[in-house]
Structure 1
């Protein structure tokens, strides 16, 4: 099985939950709203929504949010989180390559490096083609991924980090020929070593722009962060904004 079919489970929740600070989430949500230029009441699809970290705050701000994710575990947590927050989000379980809507949303978002999962690049293109179909004419698409120009400059050293009460060993790797980067996480829990492995296709802004335009969307601009940061080779993130013509 592919890593993305198994990694998004209770282990993921235990590790990633503590790493996403409320302050960082707030900044990202405000950046999403500002970049999209949408007003409360607009319909937004959060593609690969996970446990609702972004979808729920958007719903709290008055947006009509739909969340699509493959993981029933993460969606179960998302439903519980939404109920606790007192908001309604339309949650759907499904594969991002098979987006079932046409002309349904004012905007689609795909954030936190939730693109480039598939080793066959045609499958990644299918995702963007589905995004283009799902957006209303004149609607917008915002995608947030790692910047390959930044990634290739990093020193790929093992390091330890804390995730809640867990101490995790991170072992990163980069394949410059296939253009994929990944990490192996190991930690000791309950007297046993646990492991998570994941990797994604990493893109330059030039490559991502070509993919987005090939899907039928119009490239608008790119940012290097969530507060209007100018994009450059030193930017860790590519935050790209596109629009469906019409």
Structure 2
């Protein structure tokens, strides 16, 4: 997966994501964000990192994409110039000190295709947290990968960016292979095309619970679709809230 051009359109594509709601979830679970050390894993272009910092948190962001991190650093530079961004894969997390909370937002964990990588990520996160530390993440439901994603092609069109997104089943259970063709409008009116290939995989809820408990976490709650409701058969996004 190449991110150099994707980073330039990422923010517009994420406009419908309720990032402030994610901040509220962390804020409520930590009983306030002021002075709390938070690890934003797979931070992308730093949207959530900056929102958390605006509430008083001391945020460190990590991401696999140097291009995404460059955008994140630029976003934070004016108001939070001391914010740290690290170029790391989540399953190889290596950060100094310990944190009050860690988040892996917006189905980023689903980019790990291998069960062992997921387990290793949980262990690395556990090691990075203080006792009683919070771990919050979300993943695609199996209903979303197996049913909803199979309804492609999907299209998007704005004044600046358009895409055609085609999907097919991946080789592993509950996995999705996506091919996206982007068309970005230049100032002279011409459109420049670039292509992306993404592969995501999710697992049944109880698999995640088993692996989290093996890593040493206690499950506080599991909920779905930005609500306080338990997951149902047709839920699309599953949230996990854990404690070390």
Task: Output the TM-score relative to the length of structure 1.
Answer: 0.87
Higher relative contact order (CA 8 A, sep 6+): 1
1:207-222 → structure 2 map (5 Å cutoff): 207-222=207-222
Residue 31 of structure 1: aligned partner: 25
Q: Distance in 1 between matches of 2:124 and 2:239?
A: 19
Residues 18 and 163, structure 1, Cα contact 8 Å, conserved in 2: no
Residue 194 of structure 1: aligned partner: 194
Structure 2: which 5+ residue stretches go unaligned?
A: 185-189
Q: Please state whether the residue corresponding to 2:47 is helix, strand or coil.
A: coil
Q: Distance in 2 between matches of 1:103 and 1:233?
A: 40
Residues 145 and 174, structure 2, Cα contact 8 Å, conserved in 1: no
- 1:146 Cα deviation after fit: 0.6
- 1:141 Cα deviation after fit: 0.4
Structure 1 residue 205 and structure 2 residue 205: aligned?
yes
- 1:192 Cα deviation after fit: 5.6
Q: Please state whether the residue corresponding to 1:219 is helix, strand or coil.
A: strand
**4+ residue segments displaced more than 3 Å:** 35-39, 84-88, 175-178, 188-193
Residues 39 and 99, structure 2, Cα contact 8 Å, conserved in 1: yes
Q: 1:227 to 1:87 in 2, by over 3 A?
A: farther
- 1:237 Cα deviation after fit: 0.6
Q: Distance in 2 between matches of 1:23 and 1:181?
A: 20
Structure 1 residue 130 and structure 2 residue 117: aligned?
no
Structure 1 residue 105 and structure 2 residue 105: aligned?
no
Residues 110 and 144, structure 1, Cα contact 8 Å, conserved in 2: yes
- 1:213 Cα deviation after fit: 1.3
Structure 1 residue 60 and structure 2 residue 60: aligned?
no
Residue 152 of structure 2: aligned partner: 157
Q: Please state whether the residue corresponding to 1:115 is helix, strand or coil.
A: helix
Residue 16 of structure 1: aligned partner: 10
Residues 18 and 164, structure 1, Cα contact 8 Å, conserved in 2: no
Query: Comparing 170-179 with 57-66, which one deviates more in the overlay?
Result: 170-179
